[in-house]
Each structure stands twice: as C-alpha cells, then as structure tokens.
A and B are shown apart, each in its own frame.
Chain A
Amino acid sequence: MNEARFKQNVAFTVLGALTLLIVIPILLVIVYVAINGAGAISWSFLTEAPRNGMKAGGIFPAIVGTILLVIGTMLFSLPLGVLSAIYLVEYASDNLFTRMIKLSVVNLSGIPSIVYGLFGFTAFVILLHFGTSILAGSLTLAIMSLPVIITASKEALESVPFAYREISFSLGATRWQTVRYCVLPYAIPGILTGTVLSLSRAAGETAPILFTVAAFYLPRLPRGAFDQVMALPYHLYVISTQVPNIPLSLSFATALVLIALVFLMNLVSIFLRAHYRKKRLW
C-alpha cells in the first residue's frame, strides 16, 4: 500500500473516530434520561399537579403551561414572520434598506436568550403592564422565534417557480394577487415545517421565560392570558437547583417528558417536510 493511501486511511479513521465521539454521547444522553426517567412516568404523573412542594405528584400544570406558551408564540410569530418574508422576497428591491433588514434578521438570531428575557421583562412585564404572564412570555418567545420563521419562509417562497409569478403578472394580476394565489399556497409546506421547528425550540427555552412568565410553584391551571404559568423547562431548572431532597426519578421523568415533547414536535416537522416533498408539484 503506497504512502498516500496509508495516510488517507489514517486520516479517515481519525475523522470517523471524531464523529463517533459525538454520536455516542448523544445516544447515551437519550438512553440515560429514558432509563432513569421512564420508571416515574405514569398517567397520574402526567395529569396531576405537583404536591408537597414539588416533591411528589405530577407535572400537569407545567405541561399545560408549555403548550400554552407554544400556542401563544405561534400566534404572534407566524403571521409576522411570514409577512416579513413575503416582503423580503416579493416586494423588496435591492437596496441598502433591504440589506439592513437581512442583517437585522441575522442579528436577531444571535442575541443571547437571556438578553431576550431582559427585554421581555422591561418591555412587556413592566412597560406595557402585562405583568409576568403568558402574554409577556409568548411575546418574548415570539420575537426570539422570528428569525427562524422568516428564514424558513423565505426559502419556501423562493423555491416556488418564477414561472407562476410570470404567468400571473402577464394576465394583469396585482402583486398581492400574485402572491396570494400563485405563490403562497405552494410555499405553505415549507413555512409550516419551519414554524414547527421554531416552536419546538421555543418549547425548550428557559432563559426568556425566567422573568416573564414562569411561576415557581403554581399547582393550578392558569386563569387567562395575563396569568402566570408553570413551564417544563423552568420546572426542571427549579427542581434541579432549588428543591432539596427531591426524588431523582421525578427530575429524570420531567427531563424525559420535556425531551419527548420537543422531539415529538421535531418529528412532526420532519414528517411534514418529507410528506410535502413527495407531493411537490414541480
């Protein structure tokens, strides 16, 4: 075997080893949490409220809270994100202002989640007097989710063949009519996939909801949008760091439920992507 070949085998083996070094811990993490947490998962765990200062009982309010936050985030971020993407793809011309918008999207995606928490706290909780509430938390998470939704929607819109727009314009349709009838319907799969992915991330975030919505121990369900709520990520954080002597299986179970929820949403997004790729009309 000549020298170049030998070097190649060594190099490729090293690269493979590095990859394995990443893949194995991923598997271990999932398995570790699953094994240790599965024992405590039961119907009552999922549907009851916590008792005894969180040392017993279930996590139902936290599950509900997370779901409510996800819905709230979607309500604010989806329309705004899609409309922004429509502007960027269909209306904006190639000028400095457009580049500023694109740069802002990149910047928004790089801002640390705790800074979003600070902003959400001052803007929504204090200034707009929403108080720590589902509303404040959803708005904060929505701004955080905007870049992902905008980027995914942009890609979806740009992938629609230009011919459709050309046909529509050549028949005398206005720009909005063209977008509404000949572009948007065909971009919806991509938009949906990106939205679900973005929401799955929002579901797992803790920092933005620390000061804007999360409640420490609230064993009842929320009474409205201006009410506080428990949330799975925050709950896991609190029982790991601030509640002594909690049965470890409960903590693992909480982690497992959180991971399961996030993974479920990811799977939905992947399924949507594959499903619509098959049905593609062009």
Chain B
Amino acid sequence: MKRLWRRISEPIIELCIRLSGIVVVIFVFLIFLFLLRYSLSLFRHSPLGRFLFGHQWLPISDPPQFGVIPLLLGSVLVTFWAVVICVPLGVGSAMFIAEVAPKAIKNVLKSFVEILAAIPSVVLGFLGIIWLGPVLRDTFHLSTGMCGLTGSLLLAFMALPTIISISEDALTGVPRSYREAAFGLGATRWQTLWRVILPSASPGIVAAVMLGIGRVVGETMVVLMVTGNAPVIPTSILQPLRTLTATIAGEMGETVGGSEHYYALFAVGLVLFVITFIINLIADLFLRRARK
C-alpha cells in the first residue's frame, strides 16, 4: 500500500516542481499581457503617436490629453541627476571597500550598506518632506522644496547599495594573478587598482550601474512624495516635476475604472515595463560577460 502511494506521489511532486519552474516565465508574460491589453484600450481612442509624443499630460481637461513626454522627461531628468551623484559615490566606495579598507573596517562598511538597503523608501520620502525639501528650498531660494533635485538626491542614496554590492563583487572577482603580476612589475596598489583591476572588472561595474539605473527609474514612493506634482515638461531640476511612476501611483485613485484616464495609466505602466526590461537585459548581458 505504501509502495503504491510512493509510486503515485512522486510523479505528482515532480510535476509540481516542473510547473513551478515555468511559473516565473508565466508571470512575466502575464504582467506584460495585462499592461498591453489595457494600453490597447487607450490606443483605440487616442492614437499611439499622440501618447508617445504628446507634450501635454492633462487627464482632467476637456478633452483630456495623454501625452507621455512630460512624464518621461521627468523620469529621465531625475534619473540623470541621481546617476551623476550615485555612480562616482558608489563605484568609489566599492573600490574603497574592496581594495583599500582593512578587513575589520570592511565588514563594518558592508554592514552599513546593508542597513541602507533595508531602509524603506517611504521613510526616505518622509524625510524628504520633513527635512531635505526645506533645506534645499532655503539653500537655493526656491518657492518649494518639493522639486526634482530632492528626488534625485534621495534616489541616489537608495540606489547606492545596489551599485556598491555588485561593483564590489566585480572588483573582488578579478583573479589574484592579475594583482600579483602588477605588483611583480613594481606597481603601487593604486596603480594596480586604477590600471588593472578596474578595467578588468568593468563589465560587472557597468552591470551594477545599469541595475542602479533600473532601481532609480522604477522607484515610486520617494518621487511621489517629494518631487512635487507638476506633470509638465521640466525646465530645471530645481522645479517640481512628475515621473512615470509617480503618475500611476498618484492618479490611479482618482480614475474611474474603464475610463480613458484609467487605460492611460496602464499605458504609462507599459512604458515603464519596457524601459526596465531593456535596462535589465543589458545589465544581465554585462553580468554574463563579467562572469567569464
């Protein structure tokens, strides 16, 4: 009797295992499909071109305008400045942690990075409203501290753990023989780091940066809370703006299911999905190259 149970249960378990393997693929497809389907409902009313290239995002005007350019540019601008800040900081720190810091300090630093990774984004958004926003407003004499720069600074902070840990992996993954060869030729540690290790680790570091960018582009709460609420084409980082993510989060509650506005937000989601998909694809390619 027990042998019969074993004969039946095992193929069932193995079937569950095999199905679980596919589940991940299914979810990616499903998410894409859902976004696509609802986006297509929008494109039936207002054509794709007007969505992708339209300069105005006015969901409550009459007739409503759903041009994604202001949001896209908002995301791009915030991301750009965040990257400018966090890449030198992150890669520099990774270099310090991997190659310069003595062992005891290295572990402490890595713990700090883990702590940073654990801080929820909503807490950083909260601090942006309470502290960073007012500070920037007073420093730059702005009318409001809820602007793109506040977002960029906080986003840079949030992307650091990703960039630091993957870059650090890339740097420590460089074979010892490279270092020993350089030392053997009389190079200092810095020369070795700058001329040998860094170039050798560059695929991994590029991957780290790309993943950091992906993280920044996809972040919602921070930008929702601190970048202001102005879905217009941004002229400066010191002004309020709107990102793709904040638009969905902020406006979803105000839409009516089945309305054009509702579908438009899905279209924005689709744009986000495609952008992060491409970024992740590129990052993965670089990671593979790094592993070789």
Contacts and interface: CB of A to CB of B under 8 A. Distances in A.
Contacts of A87: 17-18, 20-21
Give the interface residue-count category, chain A: 35 or more
A36 to B, nearest CB: 9
B130 to A, nearest CB: 7
Contacts of B118: 200-201, 204, 262-263, 266
B217 to A, nearest CB: 7
A207 B120 contact: no
A95 interface: no
A143 B27 contact: yes
Interface stretch (B49-57, B61-69, B135-143, B245-253): B245-253
B109 A19 contact: yes
A46 interface: no
Contacts of B112: 22-23, 26-27
Contact of A112 (B95, B120, B220): B220
B96 A18 contact: yes
Contact of A104 (B25, B131, B279): B25
Interface stretch (A49-57, A157-165, A221-229, A234-242): A234-242
Interface stretch (A67-75, A117-125, A185-193): A117-125
Contact of B35 (A88, A110, A115, A147): A115
Contacts of A204: 118-123
A163 B219 CA distance: 44
A121 to B, nearest CB: 8
Interface in B245-292: 245, 248-249, 252-253, 257, 265-266, 269, 272-273, 276-277, 279-281, 283-284
Contact of A174 (B10, B28, B283): B10
Contact of B220 (A100, A104, A114, A251): A114
Given A106-B280, A108-B27, A146-B27, A248 B100 contact: no
A273 to B, nearest CB: 11
Interface string B100-121: 1100000001001111101111
A109 B166 CA distance: 15
A233 interface: yes
B190 interface: yes
Given A22-B89, A207-B220, A107 B28 contact: yes
Given A19-B97, A91-B17, A143-B27, A119 B221 contact: no
A210 B221 CA distance: 10
Nearest to A241: B225
A8 interface: yes
B262 to A, nearest CB: 10
Given A26-B116, A87-B20, A14 B245 contact: no
A4 B188 contact: yes
B96 A16 contact: yes
B236 interface: no
B183 interface: no
A176 interface: yes
Contacts of B25: 100-101, 104
A243 interface: no
Interface in B79-105: 88-90, 92-93, 95-97, 100-101
Contacts of A176: 10, 13-14, 17
B231 to A, nearest CB: 16
Nearest to B287: A106
A121 B88 CA distance: 38
Interface in B119-176: 119-127, 129-131, 157, 160, 164
A220 interface: no
B160 A91 contact: no
A150 interface: yes
Contact of A113 (B30, B119, B218, B273): B218
Contacts of A118: 34-35, 248, 252, 265-266, 269
Interface in A76-103: 80, 83-84, 86-88, 91-92, 100-101, 103
A32 B127 contact: yes
Contacts of A88: 21
10 contacts: A8-B191, A26-B112, A32-B131, A87-B17, A88-B21, A104-B24, A114-B269, A143-B27, A204-B120, A210-B249
Interface of A: 4-5, 7-8, 11-12, 14-16, 18-19, 21-23, 25-27, 29-30, 32-33, 80, 83-84, 86-88, 91-92, 100-101, 103-119, 121-123, 126, 143, 146-147, 150, 174-177, 200-201, 203-207, 210-211, 233-234, 236-237, 240-241, 248, 251, 255, 258-259, 262-263, 266, 270
A-B pairs with lowest CB-CB distance, top 5: A204-B120, A112-B218, A87-B21, A83-B20, A8-B190
Given A18-B93, A210-B249, 16 more contacts: A18-B96, A22-B90, A22-B164, A29-B124, A33-B123, A80-B23, A83-B16, A91-B17, A101-B22, A117-B249, A119-B35, A121-B252, A176-B17, A177-B10, A201-B118, A259-B120
